[in-house]
Every structure is written in structure tokens, then in C-alpha cells.
Amino acid sequence: MSTHPVLIAGQWRPSQSTGTFRVENPATGQPLPGEYPVSSWADCDAALTAATAAAATLRTLPASQIAAFLNRFADRIDARKAEIVELTHAETGLPKAPRLGEVELPRTTNQLRQAAAAALEGSWALPTIDPKLNIRSVLGPVGPVVVFGPNNFPYAYSGAAGGDFAAAIAAGNPVIAKGHPLHAGTTRLLAEEAFAAVGETGLPPATVQLLHRVEPETGLRLVSDPRTGGVGFTGSRSAGVKLKNAADAVGKPFYAELSSINPVLILPGALTERGAKVAEEFAGSAMLGGGQFCTNPGLIILLAGDTATQFAADVRQRFEAGNPPVLLSSGLVRSLSEGVAALRAAGAELITGGSPLPAPGCRFANTLLRVTGDQFLAAPEKLQTEMFGTASLLVVVRDAAQAAAVLGHLEGNLTGSFYSSTTGADDALYAVLEPLLRTKVGRLLNDKMPTGVAVSPAMNHGGPFPATGHAGFTAVGIPASLRRFAALECYDNVRAARLPASLRDKNPNGAMWRLIDGRFTQADVGA
Amino acid sequence: MSTHPVLIAGQWRPSQSTGTFRVENPATGQPLPGEYPVSSWADCDAALTAATAAAATLRTLPASQIAAFLNRFADRIDARKAEIVELTHAETGLPKAPRLGEVELPRTTNQLRQAAAAALEGSWALPTIDPKLNIRSVLGPVGPVVVFGPNNFPYAYSGAAGGDFAAAIAAGNPVIAKGHPLHAGTTRLLAEEAFAAVGETGLPPATVQLLHRVEPETGLRLVSDPRTGGVGFTGSRSAGVKLKNAADAVGKPFYAELSSINPVLILPGALTERGAKVAEEFAGSAMLGGGQFCTNPGLIILLAGDTATQFAADVRQRFEAGNPPVLLSSGLVRSLSEGVAALRAAGAELITGGSPLPAPGCRFANTLLRVTGDQFLAAPEKLQTEMFGTASLLVVVRDAAQAAAVLGHLEGNLTGSFYSSTTGADDALYAVLEPLLRTKVGRLLNDKMPTGVAVSPAMNHGGPFPATGHAGFTAVGIPASLRRFAALECYDNVRAARLPASLRDKNPNGAMWRLIDGRFTQADVGA
């Protein structure tokens, strides 16, 4: 059987591998054609050397050339869409429509094009000029970025095409993509298109490289190598924390999206006013994509009472009526079983679901559990175990004080939501609880479930640890996401002709916003 | 003998201490009056609890109140200047004038006032609004910030008054100051004025707290406590790395300034054109403040030849004519001796100095060492040992290729400087070497020594590890330095009345720059 190559130093070449793996169709349990290599350190070493050279060249190229690449890559993905979607569906079980072809793929090409526009315009880098002292600074590329893509978004977070990829490239860095083994073929097709676009737009060949898989020890070495500039990681908390520790120890910026259970507080007035509608919204959000979203609402906090009891019954009915889709892998079914068991062991009562569903396909029953506030406070850590899938825990608290105590025990999360009465009945309670939730989450929502992550300049797809590795940054939302893969570069008394274009007196494109003498302006210095 | 109190939870109170220490006058070797406590974990625990409550209140206060505090604190330092300078001089041996009274103290109050202005104006937080989707985000306070002040700048980097303090407070966070034991009295006086200003401006009493010293294990616990929001550290690499690892492990942002030898490349054309003048500039910079500056030029790279030989002779003459001042402590004299020994063991030839000077006072001879490029490349790590004081290493390289090789082995630094001919004779060499130095340093200089760190919005006092912990941020330069102590807070569909002032449709002060629909503007949303 043929083993697919890796993309290193501008060549699709055989991996110096330590083994191979195959991708399984989760709907049938059957392996798909082709084998993929597990790269040895020799592959990583070669990729790092090539990326270092590419990084040096990329620094010298105009932003317009990087933007041209991102746009061309997006066009090429669109042109090959049917083939890509077909393979991804086979690898992941995700529906071809609307999910893959109509939602995630267009979102991904949109991100690439937004990143292209941001690179071209240049304001993302916060160029800052002190004309009197002739000190000038701007964010510049950080060096080769290793991007680990997750299992759940084969396009939008792909190491070879997703948000971290787009941000790292737009900031002027080459990317070493580490694909996810569950959809190796998808990442291969994306990398093929990226590499073709690299050639068409004249970027250094090693601007995009691809490794399909590495052993854990090799990964630790990769992220902490002196040649590595930074890392983007989306994946499991256990793997991510190990990689983060390795990168941190040598001062490499590591942006990780690790874990989030996305608490939702449904205040009593909202339940009274529109409990059935909120139950519908919650169930829809929890079941979306089989619950395999980073922002899946996993923890619902309710104040005890008839309306809370009714809410649980409504959700149960919807969960039981729902038809669980095929999950990404049999591993997810196992980890869901383990998660449910961990919560039950910590005192959670099973309302519905809790078990795998029979073949064909990797599936798991929609699952709802419940604890009291007292139970939660007795085992807050175990009861925050992330269950990746449609499996949520209701925490029914006694009163506002107990709700506050529960919030005080929450770990960092990507999102936190409040549903409240439209008539002001919950306003006093909101005022008490909001500050407690605000500091635990990156994105605070009102009257809205967290599963939609708009690609907006104002989006924050980030949050306090362990949701991510640094609460000051977002993985989604351009231009801010670009700033993760950058270092602040100051020029003190540097002669005019030696300055980067963004810091010269003349605004290089007339569109870039620069902070000159403390004011944001698109004008030239002295104008 | 009386033991000074600590400042915890709005009270100057006796420390629950594990021991005491005294401050020694480095000019006389005699201990100064009074003992200071080494705080136990009980002190830290109490400070963290109080800071947590203060942080919650600070979030609710208008920026104008925080700005009023910073301004009032600056005024109070000015008013007590004579007494503060007198005590600092006794504790540190630093000259009362110009250094302490005319340079560092005014710089410090200037920083506090600039931070006040930035807090009031609000643009530092990058408020970003997507009106169509009603998603809005802004940097918000990260929570209690622990600031470790260094030995060498008793005001400008003080945990209770310096740049990290000003930035953390301006970003809306309470500060737990960890003073430096070598100038405990100075920090005490500064904290007294800060606390008085807290009272006068109605901030929560625990907005400023002070611990004089903690045992290393207690420090690790302090920076990694769940209540800690972030850390600012300026000090030794060995202590800083341990603290950084502890903070990183639990995802606490840790901004450290650890180590820098500030390479200076003097290109051949500059030596031919103005070698004697460059030698004068270098010697002046190296001897400034006894060389006890983070940006002290410790590594000079020259191309072999007569002009390089003459440069070394010129510097030697100036170093030998200089009168080394009293250093901050006897410990620095010891560590300078150790540093020189380490470099000599790695092959460096001693040109002048190399030894402590006789009493009275802790002093060390101005020291110059030399290696060839070959020698440097044989032991690049050992030859980058930081020597804190006036002690620099000349690296005399064979040619441009060897200069490039030396740059390739440099660790991250705060600064890197080029001196080059004004006639263009060095331009080709600059073009080759600049990209290699650029990615190793935070601030790149032309024709200028690195010891001046202007408080400019465009300054970068930061750099790749191990210069600092994160190359994306600066410790000096407002508004950028404020962004270190902040978390990105997104509001998605949040009702208008519940938004923070900076994200409402109406610009709260008409002066704040906000990114609305992708454009920086001071206008209201929809205007």
C-alpha cells in the first residue's frame, strides 16, 4: 500500500517515518485507502531548517505578495471544493451540506481573504511613531509557526488552512502544519492547494509545510526548538498542556485552545418568560454538530424551582427526540462514556442518554445530567470534566448566593452566557452575577447560545486558562488574531532608508492606521 | 530593634514573618537602622484575598478615579522627594544628583502621569466594535498583579511606583508590590505615598499592598495562586525563570525582564570615520550608573583590523581613567568576579580591570575582555554570561561571514545597536547583518548606545527570551505597556446598558480611539 508523502522544503517527499497510520470512516468503521506517515525528528528538523530560511525571505517581501497568496489559496480551495468535501465527509462523518460545503468551507476561505486584507492594510501590527525622538515600533513576524489542527474543524482550524494558519501567514511567518490524524486526507488536499498557491505567488517554497503526525516526544521537541518562533494549538487539554510547558520553558509563545465547558446561566425571569424557547435554543446549540464544538454549552446553571424542573423536562424531550449524528471517531465515544462516568461518580444524576448507540457508526446518545448546587460545590473540579459531544450538566442552585459560589469555582472558559428577562425582572441578579462570570470567560453573551463564533474584528475566541494559554489574545477575529504570531520590533534612531515600509514617514498605502504622536491616523508623518 | 510593618488590606501591620533582614549601605558596609520582615505565606494569602476584593471594586470605578490616583501619587512623591532621595542614596550608593533626584525620580513621576493620561483616554485597551453583529471587545483588567522590583532602579522599576506598577494600576488592577531587599526603605516610603494617595482618591484600600521579601518557595506559590491575575518581574534570570515556570504552569501571564547583554556592532566604516568618538560613546554608556543598567552594552562585535585594535586601546584608556562608583551591593561585586572568571575560563583575554577595588564601598574595576570570533563560536553560551556592572566583551571577528555566525548564536536581547559609516561605506554589510540581529532583539538602534530608554509610546523595552518572557510586549512605553496586564473581554449581543462605558455607542470621553467597522475613530457608533 502506498504511503503518502510529507511536504518539506518545497517538496512532497517520502517521510523519514517511525510508522504509519490509516484514517477510518467513522460512519462505517472501515479504513479509508492510503497510509499516512508518522514523522520522525528528521522530518521536523528538515522542516525547521527550511522554515527558518523561508522566514528570512518572507520578511523581505511586500505585504501585497503575502495577501496575494492568501487570496489565491482561498480561490484554489473553492475550485476544488467538491473533492475536498467528499473526502472530509468520508473521514469525519460530518454532513457534506450544510456543514462542510456551505458553512465551514466558505468560512475558511472567508478567513483567508480577511487575513489577506489585514496583511495588505497593515494596521494589525500597531505601527507607532514618535517623530520627535525618532523611535518607531511595529509588530513583526515571530518566525516559523507550528500549527496543530484539531479533530473537530477540518477546515476552519486546520493547521494548513484555518484561523491560526491564516493569522501566522498574514503576520509574515511560514507555517509548519501538523495535521490531525482523523482527517489526514483533508489536510493533505488543503496543503496541496496551499503549496500550489505558494508557487503561483512566488513565496518561498517552505512557507507552507505539512507533517501528518508525530510521536508525543517529537512534538515536544518541535515546539521547543530554538528555530521555532511560535505555536498555535487547538486540541485536548492533556496534550496541549504538555506542549505548552515545553514551549514555555524556552520562552516560545504558545497559543492554545485547550478546554471549555461554556457555562450558561438562565435566570429565573427568563425561564418564567420564555422557558420553552430557551430550552429549544439550548438543545439546538448542544446538539449542533454532534456537540463537537469548542463552544458547546456544557454547564447550565439554574435556580431551583418549578420553571427549572420544566426546563429540564423540555430539554430531555428534545434530546430524546434528536437523532445523534456520527461522531468524529470511536475515541470520542469512549471519552464521552468516561466523561459521563466521571460526572456520575461525582454525584451527577443521569436524566437521559449516557451510553453509546448501536452500530453502524460511532454515535452516542444525547446526554443530560443534573446536580444540585451543594453537589457541585462538593466536587467542582470533577464536575467540570469536559465532555466533548452532546452531553451537558444542569447545576440547580438553591439561590443567588449559591449561584455566586458556583461561579467562584469555575475554571477559565471561552464563553459564558446569561439569559435574562426582557422586562428587567432579572436585572438585580444579573448585576450581582455578571462580574463573577465576566472574569472567568473570554466572551460574555446575552440571550444567545455560544456555538456561533462569528469571524468579526470584535470576536474573542479565547479566555483564561485552561480555556487558552493567554487570556489577552483571540484565535478568531481579524486583525487581533494576527498579533499572536508577532514580536514587537522597535527602531531607535534608525536611518530612514533602513526602516520597514510601515514605519517610514510616508504611509505606505494611505490606508494603514498608525499611532503617530499618540493619535491614530492614516496620514504621513508631519502631514 | 523595631521591625517595619507590611502593607496588607489597607493597614500597615506587623508581618507574619519567617525572619528579618537589614539593609546595608554599600558605600560604608554598615547596616542602616531598622529591620524588615521576610513575609510568610500567611501575609501573601491575606494580601491576595484583599487584592481580589479590591480588583472587583476597581472594575466598577471610572477611569478618571484611577487616573486621579496615579497623578496624586506622583505629586506626593515629588513633595517628599528630598527625604526619599536621601534614603535611597544611603541604601544604594547611587548619586543623589543627577541620578536619583534629577533623572530617575522625575522619570518615575512622569511615567505615573503618562499612565494616568492613558487610563483616562482609554485607547490603550483597543476597544473594538462590530455594530452590525453587536459584538464588542476591549482589554480589561486581569486581576491582582504581583510586581517584583529589581535592585538597580529603586524608583523607575519599583514594585510600588515603577513602570509595571503604573501599567498594572492604569489597566485597572490592584498591585501587590514585592520590594527589593537592597532598598527596602525606599520602597516603604514609596508605598506610604501610594497608600496615602489611595485614601485621598477613594480607591479600595488594598489597591496597593507591600511585602518586603518572601522566601523563594513562597514566591513560587504567590505567582501561581489562583487569585493572582498576572506578574511583572524585573530581576535575575535564575530567580525569574523559576517564577516564570511556576506561573506558566497554571496559565498566569508573567512578564519578566531577565537578562540582556545588548550587542553592539561597530562596522568598519564607522571605526575608520569616527572610531575615537564611538569609543567615547561606548565607554560612557558602559560606565553609566556603574554599568548597572539592563541595557548596558556588554558585547561589542568588531571586524579585525587596525581600527579595531585602536578602538580597544581607546576604550581601555577610558575605562582606566574612569572612577568606578559604589555598586549596589557586595553581592554584585562577587557576581562580577564570577562573571569575569567564567568568561576567562571560556577563553576571554582580560584587557583591563577584572577585580574588585579596595574598600571603602563595594566597587569593581571597569573591565574589558576580548575574544576572537573563533573563540566565541567555540563557547557561545558561556561567553554570553551577563556581567552586571561595567564589564564588556569585545568579539573581534575575522570577516562578515563570521560576524553573521556570531549573530546566529546570540540569545534574545533587549537591544542591539549598529554603528555604521555616514557615507554609505557600510551599507552592504548592514544589509547582510541587520536581519540577523533584528530577530534577536526588541529594540534596534543606529549610531546610538542602548542605555537611554525613553518613555515613548514607540519604545520597546522587551525582546525575545531570555531578555523577557514574551517578545510581543514592552515594559516601558505607554500605552503599550498597559496591555500586558489585561485580558480580552468580548461582549456578544450584550444589552446596551450592561456594556462597559468604552463599548457603548457613545464615545465616553470623545477622545478614546476605537476600532469601529475596521476604522479607528473618536466618533460615536453610527456617527
The reply to whether B327 and B416 lie within a common domain is yes
Q: Is residue A467 part of a domain?
A: no
Total number of domains in chain B: 2
Q: Measuring CA to CA, how many Å separate B346 from each of A497, B131, B384?
A: 39, 62, 10
Burial class (CB in 10 A: 0-12, 13-18, 19+), B344: middle
The reply to whether B323 and B434 lie within a common domain is yes
Gap from B121 CA to chain A (nearest CA, Å): 11
Predicted local distance difference test score (pLDDT) of residue B510: 97
Predicted local distance difference test score (pLDDT) of residue B360: 84
Instruction: Identify whether A104 is a catalytic site residue.
Output: no
Residue of B448, B470, B493 with shortest CB distance to A492: B448
Residue of A249, A456, A513 with shortest CB distance to B245: A249
Contact at CB, B251 and A470, closer than 8 angstroms = yes
C-alpha cell at B415: 537591544
**Is the CB of residue A269 less than 8 Å from the CB of residue A423?**
yes
Distance CA A151, CA A157 (A): 9
Predicted confidence (pLDDT) at residue A360 exceeds the cutoff of 90: no
Q: Is residue B56 part of a domain?
A: yes
Contact at CB, B251 and A465, closer than 8 angstroms = yes
Q: Measuring CA to CA, how many Å separate B42 from each of A310, B214, B221?
A: 47, 11, 11
Gap from A523 CA to chain B (nearest CA, Å): 13
Contact at CB, A490 and B458, closer than 8 angstroms = yes
Would the ipTM clear 0.85, i.e. be above it? yes
pLDDT, average across residues A163-185: 98
Predicted local distance difference test score (pLDDT) of residue B2: 85
Residue B229 CA, chain-centre distance (Å), reads: 19
The reply to whether A273 and A199 lie within a common domain is no
Closest CA to A212 of A7, A9, A45, A54: A7
Domain range for A239 is 6-23+31-258+474-481
Catalytic residues of B, by residue number, are: 257, 294
The reply to whether A202 and A276 lie within a common domain is no
Residue of A60, A438, A520 with shortest CB distance to B520: A520
Strands (E), B9-87: 11-13, 17-21, 36-39
Nearest residue of chain B to residue A447 (CA atoms): B493
The reply to whether A235 and A353 lie within a common domain is no
Residue of B444, B483, B519 with shortest CB distance to A494: B444
Contact at CB, B459 and A123, closer than 8 angstroms = no
Contact at CB, A471 and B488, closer than 8 angstroms = yes
pLDDT, average across residues A321-327: 96
The CATH number given to whatever domain includes residue A16 is 3.40.605.10
The reply to whether A251 and A271 lie within a common domain is no
The CATH number given to whatever domain includes residue A411 is 3.40.309.10
The model's pLDDT over A50-101, given as tens digits with 9 standing for 90+, comes to 999 999 999 999 999 999 999 999 999 999 999 999 999 999 999 999 999 9
AA letter at A405: A
Q: Is residue B451 part of a domain?
A: no
Predicted local distance difference test score (pLDDT) of residue B1: 59
Residues of B whose CB is below 8 A from A444: 489-492, 494
Q: Is residue A456 part of a domain?
A: no
Strands (E), B1-89: 6-8, 11-13, 17-21, 36-39
The reply to whether A235 and A276 lie within a common domain is no
C-alpha cell at A401: 448566593
pLDDT, average across residues A390-396: 98
Contact at CB, A498 and B252, closer than 8 angstroms = no
Residues of A whose CB is below 8 A from B444: 489-492, 494
Gap from B440 CA to chain A (nearest CA, Å): 10
Q: What is the pLDDT along chain B (527 residues), one digit of tens a residue?
A: 589 999 999 999 999 999 999 999 999 999 999 999 999 999 999 999 999 999 999 999 999 999 999 999 999 999 999 999 999 999 999 999 999 999 999 999 999 999 999 999 999 999 999 999 999 999 999 999 999 999 999 999 999 999 999 999 999 999 999 999 999 999 999 999 999 999 999 999 999 999 999 999 999 999 999 999 999 999 999 999 999 999 999 999 999 999 999 999 999 999 999 999 999 999 999 999 999 999 999 999 999 999 999 999 999 999 999 999 999 999 999 999 999 999 999 999 999 999 999 988 999 999 999 999 999 999 999 999 999 999 999 999 999 999 999 999 999 999 999 999 999 999 999 999 999 999 999 999 999 999 989 999 999 999 999 999 999 999 999 999 999 999 999 999 999 999 999 999 999 999 999 999 999 999 999 98
pTM reported for the whole predicted model: 0.97
The reply to whether A146 and A236 lie within a common domain is yes
Computed over its alpha carbons, how large is the radius of gyration of chain A? Answer: 24
Nearest residue of chain B to residue A436 (CA atoms): B56
Gap from A65 CA to chain B (nearest CA, Å): 19
Gap from B192 CA to chain A (nearest CA, Å): 30
AA letter at B340: V
Residues of A whose CB is below 8 A from B253: 470-472
Residues of A whose CB is below 8 A from B520: 123, 513, 520
Contacting residues for A103 by C-beta, under 8 A, at least 6 apart: none
Distance CA B54, CA A100 (A): 48
Q: Measuring CA to CA, how many Å separate A325 from each of A287, A290, A353?
A: 9, 6, 14
The reply to whether B89 and B228 lie within a common domain is yes
Nearest residue of chain A to residue B487 (CA atoms): A472
Q: Which domain-ending residue is among B446, B462, B490? A: B446
Q: Is residue A505 part of a domain?
A: no
The 3-state DSSP class for residue A308 equals helix
**Is the CB of residue B149 less than 8 Å from the CB of residue B177?**
yes
Nearest residue of chain A to residue B472 (CA atoms): A487
Question: For B390, left (φ over 0), alpha (ψ -120 to 50), or beta?
Answer: beta
Q: Is residue B498 part of a domain?
A: no
Predicted local distance difference test score (pLDDT) of residue B211: 98
Residue of A244, A446, A488 with shortest CB distance to B471: A488
Cβ-Cβ pairs closer than 8 A, A with B, add up to 205
Residue of B123, B446, B491 with shortest CB distance to A444: B491
Q: Is residue A240 part of a domain?
A: yes
The reply to whether A212 and A276 lie within a common domain is no
The reply to whether A219 and A314 lie within a common domain is no
Predicted confidence (pLDDT) at residue A1 exceeds the cutoff of 80: no
Residues of A whose CB is below 8 A from B60: 435
Mutate which: B120, B173, B439, vs A, most A CBs within 10 A:
B439
Dihedral of the alpha carbons of B169, B172, B178, B183, in degrees to the nearest 10: 10
Predicted local distance difference test score (pLDDT) of residue B263: 98
pLDDT band at A359 (very low <50, low <70, confident <90, very high): confident
Parallel, antiparallel, or unpaired for β B145-148 and B175-178? parallel
Mutate which: A259, A423, A492, vs B, most B CBs within 10 A:
A492
Gap from B478 CA to chain A (nearest CA, Å): 10
> Across-strand partners of B129?
B136, B516
Phi and psi, residue A16, nearest 5°: -85, 85
The reply to whether B232 and B373 lie within a common domain is no
Contact at CB, A445 and B471, closer than 8 angstroms = no
Predicted confidence (pLDDT) at residue A525 exceeds the cutoff of 70: yes
